[in-house]
Structure 1
Amino acid sequence: MPTTPLADLGPIAQLRAGRLPRRLVQLYVGLWLYGVSLALMVLGAIGLAPWDVLHSGVTKHVPITLGQAVIVFSFVVLLLWIPLREKPGLGTVSNALVVGIAADTTLAMFDAPDALLARIPLMVGGIVLCGFATALYIGAQLGRGPRDGLMTGLARRTGLSIRLVRTGIEVTVVLIGLALGGTLGIGTIAYALTIGPIAQWMMPWFLVDLAPRAGVAPDRSLICPAEPA
């Protein structure tokens, strides 16, 4: 668990909280790398992250790319923030756009290998990079991604644990994705089991301390982040 707490700030307070240049660079590098990590798992073709099972299923029925599906569903999820009263930020809107663009850009640059020995490192690298990118973007404290905000918002409103809410959301999107023909594999299971611990382990390296400067109570609800996309 990070020793520096996550500050619970509104969008304007996030921008005024200090150390903004460093935080902006960290935010956008993290979001871009997150999109790259999704593309690596697609290229590995051994299973996608839970939300991408849904995204890949949608692309089989609607003429859009995976990255475009990420963007569309990001804004759909943001609509669910309204009754949950989650606080968006620059990072929230940026997340909805940058991750999908980065994923499509990476996929356009590389072809998927045929050999399993080449695909396994892509899957593992994608998961580790996703954990690293999650720690970067959340650590910048400029707003959570649409899906993480849905998770924490539901946890607050229902009183259920983050772990239980996260599991429920991911099982739901995987089932819908499978019904639409999405891609499920060992990579999906590996991602679900390891992404939280990896991100939590790396979070102290990048979490910018804003609570003392902002004069607000910390938000400890996001102990084990699931997905920034």
Structure 2
Amino acid sequence: MYQFKRILMGFCGVTLCGLCVGMLQKANLGVDPFTCFVTGIANIFGSTYSTFYLILTGILLFLVFILRRHYIGIATIINLLFTGVTADIMREFLNNAIPHPSLVIRWGLMLIAIVFTCLAAALYFTADLGVSAYDAIALIAAYKYRLLPFKYCRIITDSICVIIGFAFNVTLGIGTVITALFMGPLTQWFKVHIAEPLLSRNQLIKTA
């Protein structure tokens, strides 16, 4: 049962992350940094987000395999195969449901997506069944090489993605700035106050 709950946490985290990417794309107020990066590369080749998400994540996954394969697991594979597709599905659903959202709705979508993206990351970080290749880069810098605390490593990697995306003609917005500066700290907060206590309670139930 304990292992099943870890798998469920990882799966829910990855799925929720993909849905949030689609919401950010629909809000059109700036996407998260990695989406900014992937979208910029996809725009160059005139391809879809999901196609280049798979390609670029695969490249990062190879690097993670070399540096710290511990972070590769079932959640990593689910993230690689389904996050981009889930984002495209969510964006298409929202396009049909609210083809011309007001500014208030767009702000609401953006804020909800940012908060739940951080919660999603905290869930699959804590499940420890593998993380996305991109997330693993900041984790490796923080916990293997101990360069800086995780939240600062995440700010640095997010900022690099934003700069690259901007260089490749991706329009930045308030959502991009918010995620680049606050996603690391907010993810850490969710991890400490929600995800880790949830898993601890599961461990207590298992051993009771």
TM-score, normalised by the number of residues in structure 1: 0.76
Shift of 1:58: 1.6
Using the alignment, how far apart are the partners of 2:168 and 2:4 within structure 1?
42
Specify whether residues 118 and 147 from structure 1 end up closer, same or farther in structure 2 by C-alpha distance, changes over 3 A only: same
Is residue 135 of structure 2 the alignment partner of residue 148 of structure 1? Answer: yes
Using the alignment, how far apart are the partners of 1:163 and 1:21 within structure 2?
29
1:49-87 alpha-carbon deviations (Å, 9 max, x no partner) = 111111111221223322332222211111212442331
Which of 67, 75, 78 lines up with 1:84 in the alignment?
67
Shift of 1:202: 2.4
Structural mapping, 1:12-27, within 5 Å: 19-27=2-10
Using the alignment, how far apart are the partners of 1:141 and 1:84 within structure 2?
17
Which of 140, 150, 165 lines up with 1:177 in the alignment?
165
1:203-229 alpha-carbon deviations (Å, 9 max, x no partner) = 24233249x99xxxxxxxxxxxxxxxx
Using the alignment, how far apart are the partners of 1:165 and 1:201 within structure 2?
15
Specify whether residues 82 and 24 from structure 1 end up closer, same or farther in structure 2 by C-alpha distance, changes over 3 A only: closer
Using the alignment, how far apart are the partners of 2:181 and 2:31 within structure 1?
13
Indicate conservation of the 8 Å contact 2:54/2:84, yes or no.
yes
Bigger helix fraction:
2
Using the alignment, how far apart are the partners of 1:54 and 1:193 within structure 2?
16
Is residue 181 of structure 2 the alignment partner of residue 193 of structure 1? Answer: yes
Using the alignment, how far apart are the partners of 1:51 and 1:19 within structure 2?
32
Q: Secondary structure at the match of 1:183?
A: coil
Which of 7, 10, 21 lines up with 1:38 in the alignment?
21
Specify whether residues 133 and 40 from structure 1 end up closer, same or farther in structure 2 by C-alpha distance, changes over 3 A only: same
Using the alignment, how far apart are the partners of 2:152 and 2:194 within structure 1?
26
Indicate conservation of the 8 Å contact 1:57/1:183, yes or no.
no
Specify whether residues 198 and 157 from structure 1 end up closer, same or farther in structure 2 by C-alpha distance, changes over 3 A only: closer
Which of 155, 161, 177 lines up with 1:167 in the alignment?
155
Give, as a single letter, the amino acid of the residue that structure 1 aligns with 2:140: G
Unaligned runs of 5+ in 1: 1-17, 214-229
- Provide the residue aligned with 1:121 in structure 2: 108
Shift of 1:115: 2.3
Aligned residues: 195
Indicate conservation of the 8 Å contact 1:84/1:157, yes or no.
no
- Provide the residue aligned with 2:54 in structure 1: 71
- Provide the residue aligned with 1:138 in structure 2: 125
Indicate conservation of the 8 Å contact 2:42/2:49, yes or no.
yes
Shift of 1:163: 4.0
Q: Secondary structure at the match of 2:128?
A: coil
Aligned Cα root-mean-square deviation (Å): 2.3
Using the alignment, how far apart are the partners of 2:12 and 2:100 within structure 1?
26
Shift of 1:164: 4.1
Give, as a single letter, the amino acid of the residue that structure 2 aligns with 1:205: I
* Identical positions, percent: 27
